Amino acid sequence: MQKMISVALTGSGGSGVITAGNMILQAAARAGFFGQFGRSSGPQIRGGEAAAMLHLSNHPVDAPGDVFKILVALDWHNTDRFAVELPLSNDSLIIADPDQGDIPDVLLESGAKVVEIPLKKLSKQVAKGRPNMVAVGLISGILGLGEDVVDQAMVKALSKRGEDALTSSRGAAALGRDAANEIEFQASLGDAPQQTNARWLLNGNEATGFGALLGGIRFVAAYPITPATEVLEWMSPNLKKLGGALVQAEDELASINMIIGASYGGTPSLTATSGPGLALMLESLGLAIASEIPVVIVDVMRGGPSTGIPTKSEQSDLNIALFGPHGDAPHLVLAPSGIQDCVKTTAWAVQLAEATQTPTVVLSDQLLGQTRAVVERPDTLPAGSMRKTSAASDEGYQRYLVDNSGISAMAVPGTAGCQYTADGLEHDPVGVPSSQVADHRAQLDKRAGKIENYDFGDDWADIEGDGDLAVIAWGSTAGVVREAIRRLDKGGLNLRLIVPRLLAPAQPSRMAEALKGCDRALSIELSHGAQFYHYLKGYYDIACPLTQYHRPGPLPFRPGELVQEIENWSRS
Amino acid sequence: MNNIPATDQAYGPRDYKSSVKPVWCPGCGDYTVLSSITKALAALALDPENVAVISGIGCSSRIPAYLNTYGFHGVHGRALALATGLKLSRPDLNVLVTGGDGDGFSIGGNHFLHACRRNVDLTYIVMDNRVYGMTKGQPSPTTEPDWDSALAPGGTGLRPFNPLVIALASGANFIARGFSGDPNGTAKLIVDAIRSPGFSFVEVLSPCVTFRGDQRGWKQMVRPAPVDPTEDIGRAARRLMTDDGMNLGVLYQGHREPYVLENNPVYIDAAQLEDQFKL
Amino acid sequence: MTGKITIDRLDVLLAHAQVLETEAMERYQDLAEQMEVHHNHDVAKLFRKMAHVESIHVQKIIERAGDITLPQIHPWDYQWPDEEAPEVISDDDIHYLMTPHHALMLALKAEQRALDFFTHVVENLSDGPVRDMAEQLRVEETEHVALIKDWLARVDEPGEDWDEDPDPPVLQE
């Protein structure tokens, strides 16, 4: 029986709420459970208000819960900022420290049960004890997580801080666990599932980095930007282990050009950024397209437009990813559909970029990137990529030779007899700049054809179910839709889910094939302008009536919300 | 510093020219700079396939196509970033960067600062004609404040950018000035620049015959620098700040270590990285 | 470089002579190409002819050198009185609308510079095989000067509006 319990922990001013949340996820992971851990915070760099949001389950977690079963608050400073993100119901439990002030009305309105526990006073009973560790013990107790796994998680998190920190935390947690025993509230995770598959604990940004390295990336140049910086932080030391390197550039314009230069030199290269950075990179993305140089650009999307909402998620960079570069500039756009999928999709992006000598944009988002999760290990790991190069030559080498495949040999500098000048200017097959009708046509056809005619196989989309009502979603929305469909299937609704992984080039005939037998289709996306819906309308053959549900961030979709939307739509 | 040992096979300068015919206006200084580059490469006996010439946009940025080396004609202002990515990942190649004053000091200004700061082993040759030639004659960062043009009638009134001082302050390891009217001297400077480890910056005064006819007078104004090149950064700063823009030769030779990526051996297979995530 | 020219070895003299003619030849080739690209076909033809003539001169030097191995000298180490080899026409003096008269005037100046160069070389040498060779080369330059003068006499002088182009420059990128 699938069980999920959502727990939130809030606090401010250095109270260590995120550390505590991480520890609980670690403990649950070690016990054999699955889960997701997200966080929300105020604008301060330190000392601000924070919320740790956990969704733990005996089954892989596709989506957060609709409400939090338990909310533990170390204090109430600015907690109403999070009220919308911490929905409660009258089945929920609020644990409050009576010495920390009144519970905000907006939370009480839910009708949740309230239990008062003097977390701070308790923590003082242990030398250097902290309330957040009391909360760890408390929450673990209620969830039924064993002391052993909690201790393991504690050791992992605190070993660097020394024995004293460990001792005081253990002491504080023990007090919390005792307090849990006094609470009459059912919220146990129950038995851990029988493990058949191996599991990983990682976040989407790490998964993206890992996928990139599996795909063969060995050079990264990048400029820090929220929420992509962790991709770079993870990749930097791990690249080194593989003989690669990461360089911090002076801005995004330098980042994209450095990786183009490195790729020109023969090294698969990547950068990671967010919407504002991708916007800056568009001109040079065009350069890479025109000169047929493979690069991978990861866009961990955030709230837009402009500076937008850097710490929240949205799916509103689709338009610039698809249509950003000026001119007719066909290229590849992929989107991972879950945290675990970031590995496969990013690796695939590298493979496709290298194989077709075309830049690839990978659209991840803040939800995927910064949510830490326990996921199933994939059955197979991607392994490397291949680029068509040229041997030393005596005959005239033509870098942009036109043939059926559209993919010409890309000589690695140092190869004798194959010297060529890569150029953003339109060129003839040799690479000499040309404004001639025939050359422009031939090269445009080449660059478009090489990806239009490429056999992407079945990975272009995940298609689940065979119902005659189809829901189409992409990126982080897919997981929430999947959970919503799971609930609706139980209610007798027969739905089909189509999650494209390859967004460009558009696959109209494959989409038509995926929609065979469907009466109606519904697209769902986190975007104010319904970018995905308009893309489907404009570029895909969708024979059946297509409706859409869209809204902007900053709030992620919740399964309950989508259950309602899909149900209403199915009835209309 | 070129890392490729000179081969036994000697090259003549013509061996570095491609079959593409330059379209610069006859009288343009870039013709002789192109010739100086080929003379320098021949003097160093570099294999053409081990040389990469990177450029941005502008008249002088057309040079890669006219050479028989590997080349990259990138977008406006970003040549140094392209070259940095290439050289860091391919330290075995000899990487030259060519371009003009607009490409290098206006849109490319930020990358110029950081290229000097980073001190990667590159040779950057800027053909400075104090105008945007390709777009028909606008003032550039090095244009005199009173030079009249359509976009800035009467002159910009702005103090010209001083690239040599900026290069010195930002960390360039070799700074020189040449003149297209002295192709052999410029060739020697380019040889010295390539040989010097780290970031070498060579400004070559290269008159624009079409939009800056007044630059014909440069021939009478340039002179070999009256003092030997200095290795003292303070002295160089003083000289460059008071330089009138007409002193030719090597003006500064630094001794900073060039920036290279650690030569990381491959410790493990990519798949083994999984261990850090395994539960 | 100004100052006394001291070339007192045969191999060095011949190396200078060869490069002098070779650079002149290559420069004429390049200039011919420039003129062709800019559709000044009269002058292009003229420069091609000059290049051909220079190529014969180069051959002659090579033949004269015979078995002597000529030293490899860097371009900047030659003892030219000016920045470039004497017989080279400067890129600066070229105009896309130049007339054959202009071209020949430049060629004449070039040959005159070459003549002056060998004259100086001779002046600074004492009797011997090197001086003899230098003298031969000097005499040949006088012949070249005469040839150009002859050619010049057969060519029209440019009109006042020779550099008039009603079209403005064209934006390229």
Find the mean pLDDT for residues A448-473: 97
- Chain B nearest CA to C34, separation (Å): 6
> Going by CATH, does the domain composed of A4-180 fall within 3.40.920.10?
yes
Residue-wise pLDDT tens digits, A374-427? 999 999 999 999 999 999 998 899 999 999 999 999 999 999 999 999 999 999
Answer whether A546's CB lies under 8 Å from A521's CB: yes
Residues of B in contact with A433 (CB under 8 A): 65, 73
Name which of C33, C34, C75 is nearest B184 (Cβ-Cβ): C75
Please answer yes or no on whether C171 and B135 come within 8 Å at the CB atom.
Answer: yes
Phi, psi of A330 (to 5 degrees): -65, 140
Q: Which amino acid is it at A95?
A: I
Q: Say how many C-beta atoms besides its own lie within 10 A of residue A191's C-beta.
A: 12
Find the mean pLDDT for residues C61-78: 93
Terminal alpha carbon distance of chain C: 39
Search chain B and give the residue with CA nearest A197: B279
Please answer yes or no on whether A413 and B49 come within 8 Å at the CB atom.
Answer: yes
Mean pLDDT value across chain A: 96
pLDDT at res. B9: 55
Selected for mutation to probe chain B from C33, C83, C88, C95 (highest B CB count within 10 Å) is C83
Residues of A in contact with B111 (CB under 8 A): 250, 253-254
Please answer yes or no on whether B86 and A244 come within 8 Å at the CB atom.
Answer: no
Neighbours of chain B (3+ CB pairs under 8 A): A, C
Question: Using CA atoms, how far apart are residues B80 and A250, in angstroms rounded to an integer?
Answer: 12
Question: Using CA atoms, how far apart are residues C44 and C94, in angstroms rounded to an integer?
Answer: 12
Using the Cα atoms of residue C75, residue C78, residue C84 and residue C86 in order, give the sign of their dihedral: negative
Question: Using CA atoms, how far apart are residues A104 and A160, in angstroms rounded to an integer?
Answer: 37
Residue-wise pLDDT tens digits, A290-343? 999 999 999 999 999 999 999 999 999 999 999 999 999 999 999 999 999 999
Question: Using CA atoms, how far apart are residues B66 and B30, in angstroms rounded to an integer?
Answer: 11
Residue-wise pLDDT tens digits, A194-227? 877 899 999 999 999 999 999 999 999 999 999 9
Question: Using CA atoms, how far apart are residues A33 and A145, in angstroms rounded to an integer?
Answer: 10
Residue ranges of domains in chain A: 4-180, 202-376, 388-450, 458-571
Please answer yes or no on whether A250 and B274 come within 8 Å at the CB atom.
Answer: no
Question: Using CA atoms, how far apart are residues A449 and A403, in angstroms rounded to an integer?
Answer: 10
Question: Using CA atoms, how far apart are residues B37 and B44, in angstroms rounded to an integer?
Answer: 11
User: What is the layout of strands, in order, in the sheet containing B70-73?
Assistant: A421-423, B70-73, B51-55, B94-100, B122-128, B199-205, B174-179, B247-253, B223-224
Please answer yes or no on whether A283 and B75 come within 8 Å at the CB atom.
Answer: yes
Name which of A201, A267, A433 is nearest B279 (Cβ-Cβ): A201
Using the Cα atoms of residue B5, residue B10, residue B12 and residue B16 in order, give the sign of their dihedral: negative
Please answer yes or no on whether A242 and B73 come within 8 Å at the CB atom.
Answer: no
- Chain A nearest CA to B45, separation (Å): 15
pLDDT along chain B (279 residues), means of 10: 44 95 94 97 97 96 97 97 98 98 96 98 97 88 92 91 97 98 97 98 96 94 96 96 96 96 90 95
DSSP B62-100: GGGGGBSSEEEE-STT-HHHHHHHHHHH-TTSEEEEEEE
* A234, burial (CB in 10 Å: exposed 0-12, middle 13-18, buried 19+): buried
Banded model confidence at residue C6, pLDDT cuts 50, 70, 90: confident
> Going by CATH, does the domain composed of A458-571 fall within 1.10.287.130?
no
Answer whether A419's CB lies under 8 Å from A287's CB: no
A202-376 and A458-571 in the same fold: yes
Parallel/antiparallel/unpaired status of strands A70-73 and A4-11? parallel
Terminal alpha carbon distance of chain A: 32
Residues of B in contact with C169 (CB under 8 A): 136-137, 210-211
In this complex, is the C-beta atom of B26 within 8 Å of any C-beta atom belonging to chain C? yes
Find the mean pLDDT for residues C11-26: 96
Residues of B in contact with A219 (CB under 8 A): 85, 88-89
Q: Say how many C-beta atoms besides its own lie within 10 A of residue B275's C-beta.
A: 8
pTM of the entire predicted model = 0.93
3-class DSSP state for residue A95? strand
Contacts with A, B 48-107, CB within 8 Å: 48-50, 52-54, 64-65, 67-75, 77-78, 81-90, 92-93
Search chain C and give the residue with CA nearest B38: C75
Q: What is the CATH number of domain A202-376?
A: 3.40.50.970
Selected for mutation to probe chain A from B55, B66, B89 (highest A CB count within 10 Å) is B89
Question: Using CA atoms, how far apart are residues A483 and A61, in angstroms rounded to an integer?
Answer: 9
Q: Which H helix or E strand runs over A469?
A: strand A469-473
Answer whether A92's CB lies under 8 Å from A68's CB: yes
Answer whether A233's CB lies under 8 Å from A206's CB: no
Residues of B in contact with C81 (CB under 8 A): none
Name which of C72, C75, C94 is nearest B187 (Cβ-Cβ): C75
Go through chain A and tell me how many residues it has.
572
Residue-wise pLDDT tens digits, A246-287? 999 999 999 999 999 999 999 999 999 999 999 999 999 999
Q: Say how many C-beta atoms besides its own lie within 10 A of residue B231's C-beta.
A: 11
Banded model confidence at residue A464, pLDDT cuts 50, 70, 90: very high
Q: Which residues contact A28 (CB under 8 A, 6 or more apart)?
A: A35, A54, A56, A143, A145, A149, A189, A374
Name which of C36, C72, C94 is nearest B27 (Cβ-Cβ): C94
Question: Using CA atoms, how far apart are residues A383 and A359, in angstroms rounded to an integer?
Answer: 19
Residues of B in contact with C93 (CB under 8 A): 27
DSSP C45-94: HHHHHHHHHHHHHHHHHHHHHTTPPPPP--GGGS--SSSS-TTPPPGGG-
ipTM for this model: 0.91
Please answer yes or no on whether C169 and B211 come within 8 Å at the CB atom.
Answer: yes
Helix axes C41-65, C129-153, angle to 10 degrees: 160
Question: Using CA atoms, how far apart are residues A376 and A59, in angstroms rounded to an integer?
Answer: 10
C2 has a pLDDT exceeding 60 = no
Residues of C in contact with B187 (CB under 8 A): 75-76
